[in-house]
Amino acid sequence: MLQEYRNRPRDEAAEKIESYIAQHNLKPGNKLPSERDMSEMWGINRMTLRGAIQGMIFEGKLYNRKGSGTFVAYPKLNRNLQDLKPFSAAVKEEGKTLQTVLLSREIIESTKQLSGKLCIKLGHPVLAITRKRIVDDEPVMIEVTHMDYERFPKLMDYDFGKESLYHIIENVYGTLITEGTEKLSVTFANEREAGLLEIEEGTPLFNLSGVVKDADGIPIEYFKSVARVDKIRFSSMLTR
């Protein structure tokens, strides 16, 4: 005889949350009751409830704002993994607003890893740019870009809070961005990332890294990014 299927406690807690959202007609950006209040309301263990909330955050149904609570999520920004268009262009196409905060810009010596990614000598000067991306007034991504400084020295002079890096590369230097490779995995926010993205430490994040090349196959950029799973959806076209 087949055993009767039963939802896990975490799944039942998620169903309670979804029912609450529907019954109270909550909209994107509306706040849920506190974990304590929901736990008492439904007689659910707080650890179970917390697990349900984390699962719904990963699915893009909820999001946490550090120090403020849990909210109903807005529709995610769609990003095609096979698309080399600038992040700013992708955000604009979705009808969303973008702010970019320049966190740091410095010249460092190439490490063994950077030398391999950018095809430059060990110790070669590298321009490292760190930016925070804010979409519709919510921080969604931290990007770290590494480039050959001797090839692109003028990049020290531009305001990347206002200007597109790819636009400058193509229109100032005349370098066409034609191909690249990208890896996608999942990580968890450390203390610094959590603070910058206004989420709780340990929240799941997308972890992206890759190399962008010019028409001659020469590396232009090695990038590493972390992005909020409740704000961005990545997709790819499958062919045979």
Q: Phi and psi dihedrals of 92, rounded to 5?
A: -60, -40
Closest CA relative to residue 73, chosen from 114, 28, 12: 28
Residue 233: pLDDT over 90: no
Q: What is the pLDDT of residue 238?
A: 65
Specify the pTM.
0.75
In angstroms, the CA 178 to CA 180 distance is: 7
Indicate the pLDDT class of residue 5, thresholds 50, 70 and 90. Answer: very low
Residue 230: pLDDT over 90: no
Q: What percent of the chain has pLDDT over 90?
A: 66
Q: What is the pLDDT of residue 4?
A: 47
Which residues, 6+ apart, have CB-to-CB distance to 4 below 8 Å?
Answer: none
Which residues, 6+ apart, have CB-to-CB distance to 76 below 8 Å?
Answer: 60, 230, 231, 232, 233
- Of the listed ranges 1-5, 82-86, 165-169, the least confidently predicted one is 1-5
**Cα 127–Cα 164–Cα 76 angle in degrees, nearest 5:** 110
Burial of residue 51 (CB within 10 Å: 0-12, 13-18, 19+) is middle
The label of the residue with tokens 């949350």 reads 17
> What mean pLDDT is reported for the chain?
90
Contact 142/131 with Cβ under 8 angstroms?
yes
Higher-pLDDT residue of 137 and 4 is 137
Distances (CA, A) of 145 to 121, 169, 209: 18, 13, 10
Domains defined along the chain, listed by start: 9-72 (1.10.10.10), 77-235 (3.40.1410.10)
In angstroms, the CA 212 to CA 146 distance is: 11
Q: What is the pLDDT of residue 105?
A: 95
The label of the residue with tokens 């973008």 reads 98
Residue 7: pLDDT over 70: no
Which residues, 6+ apart, have CB-to-CB distance to 127 below 8 Å?
Answer: 105, 106, 107, 145, 146, 147, 148, 149, 152, 155, 156
In angstroms, the CA 65 to CA 221 distance is: 32
Residue 99: pLDDT over 50: yes
Indicate the pLDDT class of residue 85, thresholds 50, 70 and 90. Answer: confident
Q: What 8-state DSSP symbol labels residue 154?
A: G
Longest dimension (CA), the chain: 73
Q: What is the pLDDT of residue 1?
A: 43
In angstroms, the CA 38 to CA 94 distance is: 34
For the chain, the straight-line distance linking the first and the last C-alpha, in angstroms and rounded, comes to 42
